[in-house]
Chains A and B, each alone.
Chain A
Amino acid sequence: MTSFTVQLLMNSMITGSVYALVAIGFALTYNIGGFFNMAHGAVFLLGAYGGYVALHVLQFGLPLAVLVSAAAAGLAGIVAHSAVFRRLALSEAPSTVFFISSLGILIAVEGTVATGFGYETIVFMPGPSPSSTFFGARVTDIQVYILALSFALLLALVVFFHMTNIGKQIRAVADDRELAKAVGISVNGVMFWVFVLGSMLAGVAGLFVGMEHTIRPGSGMVAVLWAMVASIMGGVGSFIGPVVGAFLLGFIENLAVTVFPSEWKATVVFSILILFFFLRPVGLFGVRR
C-alpha cells in the first residue's frame, strides 16, 4: 500500500468513528420512536460547547472534558425526551409532528448557543498537535485519542446491547414493538434510555469534532445531516448498518476531497444520499418491512 492509501484509510477511520457515534443515536430513535430526530444535532452541539467550556473556561483535562460533554448532552437528551417527545408520544402524534418539533428544538438550541458564543467558528485546539508516522501516514496524538476512545465506546455499546437488561429491551423493542409490549417492556422507558445513551455518544462526538476541526452553531445541523446520510446508507432499521454507513461516509468524504474541490464535499455526499433513496432506500443492511 502506498502512503497515500494508508493516509486515506486512516483519515476515513477517524472521520467514520466520529460519525458512527452520532449516527447510532439518530438511527435508534428512528427505530424505536419512528421519527427522524433533528434534535440530535442539538445534543451534539451542547456536547461540543460543553466540552469547550470544560477545556478552556474550567481548564479541565481531556478525560474530564469528555465526561462533561457526555453529561451535558445526556442531560439535554433527557429534557428533550421528557418535555417534548414523551408528551407527543402520549398524545399519539404522527411522525410529522415529532419531526417538526425536533427541528424546533434544533434551532432553539442553535440560537441559545449563538447567544452565548456568537456565530463565529470556535477552535478548540489552537496550534499544531504533536504527531507520529504510522506506515507512512501522519497521525496526530489527538486523532489517536479520538480513534481509541471511539472504538472503546463502540465496543462498550456492543457489550451493553447484549449483556444488560436495558440493552436487550432496546433490541427487543426495535425488533418488534408490539411483541415487546406484550411481554411487559415499557416502550417509553426504553425510549428514555435511547435518548440518554444516544445523546451522550453524540455529545462526545461533538467534542471530538471540535478537537479535530472547529465548531460553530451551524455544526449541529451538519452533524445530524451526516448522521442521517450514514443511517440511510447503512440502513436505519439495523444495528450494525448505521455504523458501517458512518465508516463508508467517512471514506467517501475523504476520497471526495481528493477528487473534487473541497467546497463541493456536501454536494457529493448528498448526491450519494439521494441515489441511495432511489436505488436502495432500506440501506445496505436494511430489511424491507
Chain B
Amino acid sequence: MTDYLMHLAIVIGIYATLAQGLNLLLGYTGIISVMQASLYGVGAYISALMASQAGVSFPLAFASASIGAALTGFIVGAAITRLQGDYLALVTFGLAVIFYDVFNNWLTVTKGPMGIPGIPAAFETKEAWLVFVAALAVAALLLVRRIDGSPYGRLLRAVRDDEILASVLGRSTQRTKTTVFTLSAFLAGAAGSVYAHYITFIDPTSFTAMESVSLLTMVIIGGMASPVGPILGAGFVVLVAESLRFAGLPDATAAPLRQVLFGLLIIVAMLFRPQGLMGRYRLSK
C-alpha cells in the first residue's frame, strides 16, 4: 500500500514538473501549446536510447535529455513564435502529429510501436525515487516562482496581456516567446527522462496530442500563472484518474470515462472559472 501511494506521488511529481513548463507558456505568456507531450517524448527517447544503447549513466542521460529537449524547443520556438494566438496553437497541433509519426515510424531508432524496453532504472527503491522526483518538482516550482517575481516574469505577462504594447516599449516579443518555449521544453525533457528511467519502458502512445491535452487540463484546473497551480492540477488529475480505477471499473471502461471527465472539467472550468483553482489570471481579451 505504501508502495502504491509512493508510486502515485512519483507520478504526480513527474506531471507537476511537466505542467510547470506548460504553465510558463499558457499561464504566464498566453501561448497554447499542444506539443508539450512531444517535447516530453524527445527527452524520454534521448535518455532511454543513451542509457540502453550506449550505457550512459543516469545523470548524464538526464542532463542530455533536458538539454536536447530544450534545443528542440528552441528550434521549434524560434520558427513558430512569430505566429499569432490561435494560429500558433494549430501549428503545435500539426507538430505534435509529426513528432508522433517520427516516434512511431522511425523504426531503426525508436523501434516504433514496439517501444524501448529495459531502460536501466536510476534508483533501486521507491523511497529514493520519491526524494529525487520531489526535489525535481520543487526545483521546477522554485524556478517558476523566481520567474514570477522577476523582470522576466513581468515581460512574459506583458507579452500575454498586450503584445503590441510590449513591442512598442522596445521588447522583442518574439525573442521572449522563444526563450520561454525553450525553458518549458527544458522542463519537459527533464520530466521525460525521469519518466523513462522510472517506468523503464517507453512507447509512442505516451507522447500524443491527447496527452498534451491532459497537461492543459492540469494547468487550467490548477490555475494559470500560479506557481503552485500545476502541482495541485497534476495531483487532482492523477487522483481523479486513479479513483476511477478504485471504483472497480475495468481499464477498458475507466480510460474512456477518464477522457469524458477531463473534457467536461475543461468545459466547466472555461464556463465558470477560467482562472482555475489557484489562478490569478483569467484568459480575457
Residues in A lying within 8 Å of B, measured CB to CB: 35-36, 84, 87-88, 92-97, 99-101, 103-115, 118-119, 217, 221, 225, 228-229, 232, 261, 263-264, 266-267, 270-271, 273-274, 277, 281
Contacts and interface: CB of A to CB of B under 8 A. Distances in A.
Interface string B61-98: 00000000000000000001001011101110111011
Interface stretch (B13-21, B52-60, B101-109, B163-171): B101-109
Interface in B226-248: none
A104 B97 contact: no
B69 to A, nearest CB: 20
B252 A104 contact: no
B90 A96 contact: no
A109 B156 CA distance: 34
A209 B162 CA distance: 43
A242 to B, nearest CB: 14
Contact of A107 (B80, B93, B259): B259
Q: In terms of DSSP, what is the predominant structure of the interface of chain A?
A: helix
Given A110-B259, A270-B98, A96 B267 contact: no
A223 B274 CA distance: 28
B10 interface: no
B257 A115 contact: yes
| Best-surrounded residue of A99, A103, A114, A277 (most CB of chain B within 10 A) | A103
Contacts of A107: 210, 213, 259-260, 262-263, 266
B2 interface: no
Q: In terms of DSSP, what is the predominant structure of the interface of chain B?
A: helix
Nearest to B112: A263
B83 A277 contact: yes
B121 interface: no
B209 interface: yes
B119 interface: no
Nearest to A228: B90
A261 B106 CA distance: 12
Given A96-B85, A104-B264, A114-B259, A267 B93 contact: no
Nearest to A273: B94
B101 A267 contact: yes
A221 B262 CA distance: 16
Contact of B94 (A108, A263, A274): A274
B84 to A, nearest CB: 9
7 closest A-B pairs by beta carbon, nearest first, are A108-B263, A111-B259, A104-B266, A114-B256, A111-B260, A270-B94, A107-B263
B145 interface: no
B90 A270 contact: no
Interface of B: 30, 32, 80, 83, 85-87, 89-91, 93-95, 97-98, 101-102, 104-105, 209-210, 213, 216, 220, 252-253, 255-267, 270-271, 274, 283-285
A141 B164 CA distance: 56
A95 B261 CA distance: 23
B92 to A, nearest CB: 10
B98 A271 contact: yes
A101 B213 contact: no
| Best-surrounded residue of B98, B210, B263, B284 (most CB of chain A within 10 A) | B263
Nearest to A106: B263
| Best-surrounded residue of B30, B94, B101, B274 (most CB of chain A within 10 A) | B94
A115 B256 contact: yes
B87 A119 contact: no
Contact of B271 (A35, A84, A99, A270): A84
A103 B271 CA distance: 13
A180 B257 CA distance: 43
Given A104-B263, A105-B267, A274-B94, 20 more contacts: A36-B90, A96-B30, A96-B85, A99-B86, A100-B32, A100-B216, A101-B266, A104-B262, A107-B259, A110-B256, A111-B259, A111-B262, A114-B255, A115-B256, A115-B257, A221-B209, A225-B93, A228-B93, A264-B105, A267-B102
A231 B152 CA distance: 37
B257 A111 contact: yes
A119 B93 CA distance: 21
| Best-surrounded residue of A94, A263, A264 (most CB of chain B within 10 A) | A94
Nearest to A224: B93
